[in-house]
Structure 1
Amino acid sequence: MTTLSDVAKKASVSKMTVSRVINHPQQVTPELRRIVEQAMEELDYHPNFVASALAHQRTNIVKLVILEDIDTTEPYYMNLLFGIANGLGKHHYALQLATDNDITTDGVDGYIITGERAKDVNWLDQLGKPFILFGENRFGYDFIDTDNKLGEQLATQYALDKNYQSVIFIGIDEKEAFEYSREAGYINTLQSHNLVPKIFRIQNHSSLAEELIINNWKQLAPNTCFICASDRIAIGVVRALKRKGANIPKDFGVIGFDGVLLNQISNPKITTVKQKFFELGDLLAKMILQKIKQDGAQQGEILIEPELVKSESTRN
């Protein structure tokens, strides 16, 4: 059976160097890594990652905890999952899924948690294993998220650039950091142009967005663009405008937020702020593994710049 020593001899390096290439490839140069990996391939050497995990008293498992209902019409979780699984797989870690009633510290090395709310702070503080959050928070926890404020700044500025006279924000009725940031992006952009913000807040359902537009139709003048905190809200706005025979995008514009499927199945297709879910997932994996390696040391926060994807629901 080929051993670590055989690989080291074949590559003309020390056993420590081979170990670093296997367990901490970021600590060696690309050239040295290629030499060692080539020796491993030629000798048909396969590291025993299970034994390594046991030696470090680890399971090589990270659990993704989802603390909100997953609607089958919200496909962004699938993109996020693929990103996380890809990032963990690079380091021979497995991903488990859990809901809020299946959170145990047995058999896992750490957690990625999404959908947390202010009410979750108490049990998060007592979790006992390294964890990071997907989503902004104001409690000092490590997190990665889209730059929500920047996203709505881009959307609002684009609406103004397309000469919509009125720009209205329809937010998600949640007292959470991501929603505050999205509203702030809208408000700050309007105020920088000496314009007065107008905000509606509803639960994140397309039917409620449709109802909102219908009920306020008499107060909505043409030449208005709706900045929506989600594509689900945006698709409801589009439905209502079409019911009223409005011209989209000439008289009314609509901009969503998320950029995964719903913006594409709408007719007309929706201009949206696209979140980079696969990249976010990969970064979440990287951060939690770093935190596990550093025995729970603070990692900080990362905000990823979103992309404004222009489509048929706004003027060209």
Structure 2
Amino acid sequence: MGITLKGLSKITGYSAITISRALNKPELVKSKTREKILYAVDKYHYSPNNVAKALVYNRTNIIYLYVPYNLDPTNQFVLQVSAGISGYLGEHGYSVLLSKKWYNHEAVDGLILMGLTLEDEDNLKGLALEKPLVLFGHSENVDCIDVDNVKGMELMTEYALDKGYKKLAFVGIKENKKFTQDRFDGYRNILKQRNIKYEEKLAIFTDNNANSGFLAGKKLLSDNPSIDCVLCSSDDQAAGVIQAANLL
């Protein structure tokens, strides 16, 4: 077991603040002092304590990743995004605190939020003034990273029509979020451009999981046998629709 910061301070004769600076802000410490501290760190296998580091620099090197309770953490998209965020931050010396509930944000250095409703996004301005914050999704109020959901669904719809499919159904996500509406808009935009009448009976909005996709696909295909293509808002929904189609 490695030595503590307090123990290293006693051995070297330097304060905890000086040792922490030597490790995190070496330009602020004289070279001879830094060399002695680094020698002791290596000899006694000292591992920096994040709590002590936070006290010295008012930083925790922890980033808060908020995935709300209504967003399934086992969803493949969520897993891939969370893994990518954690991997990148880990390479740069940060830890990730993944949470499905709001908590005291003073304990972290920054926040990454995903899966927020439109109402949630309206309340981010104040929080963004307190901590560095980025939203995964669209927002007019704070820094955000997003994809063009309208264009994505337009490309899918065009591709299906260009392949010769005539009767296109749509399975959307039943959530009050901008990306869900954007994907539906993309579908309808292309129908309008191609002079194809939108039929409400060919669109179902449901939960974002395979079972809900299965039930939606089963209903659409049973009630409308002329459907020859179903466009889905997510991979999980599509997996369920495919399962339903295979049972016909």
Check conservation: 2:149, 2:182, Cα contact below 8 A.
Answer: yes
Is 1:133 aligned to residue 135 of structure 2? Answer: yes
The one of 226, 232, 247 equivalent to 2:230 is 226
Aligned-pair distance for 1:179? 0.7
How much has 1:69 moved relative to structure 2? 3.7
How far residue 207 of structure 1 moved from its aligned partner, in angstroms, is 3.0
Greater helix share, structure number: 2
Q: What TM-score, normalized by structure 1, do the two folds share?
A: 0.55
Structure 1 residues 106 and 237: alpha-carbon distance in aligned structure 2, compared to 1, 3 A threshold: same
Structure number with greater Rg is 2
Consecutive unaligned residues in structure 2, runs of 5 or more: 1-11, 13-25, 28-37, 43-47
Q: Note the alpha carbon deviations across 1:266-302, whole angstroms, 9 max, x for none.
A: xxxxxxxxxxxxxxxxxxxxxxxxxxxxxxxxxxxxx
Which of 189, 192, 208 is equivalent to 1:204? 208
Q: State yes or no: 1:61 paired with 2:66.
A: no
Q: In 2, Cα distance between the equivalents of 1:140 and 1:126?
A: 10
Amino acid at match of 1:104: N
- Written as runs of structure 1 = structure 2, the 5 A alignment for 1:43-192 is 56-71=57-72, 73-101=74-102, 103-121=103-121, 124-127=124-127, 128-137=130-139, 139-192=140-193
How much does 1:108 deviate?
0.8
TM-score (norm 2): 0.68
Partner of 2:196: 195
Where structure 1 has 5 or more consecutive residues not aligned to the other structure, the ranges are 2-17, 20-42, 245-316
In 1: Cα distance, 2:99 partner to 2:146 partner: 20
Cα offsets for 1:235-258 (capped at 9, x unmatched): 2222222222xxxxxxxxxxxxxx
CA pair 90-159 structure 1, distance change in 2 beyond 3 A: same
SS at structure 2 position matched to 1:184: helix
Superposition CA RMSD, Å: 3.1
| Equivalent pair of 2:172/2:233 in contact (CA under 8 Å) | yes
- How far off is 1:203 after superposition? 2.2
Q: State the distance in 1 between where 2:92 and 2:219 align.
A: 53
C-alpha contact 2:86 2:96 (8 A) present in aligned 1: yes
Distance 1:105 1:170, change over 3 A: same
Superposed CA offset, 1:163-193 (max 9, x none): 0012222111223111111112212222222
Between structures 1 and 2, the one with greater strand share: 1
Once the two structures are aligned, what percentage of the paired residues are identical?
Answer: 32
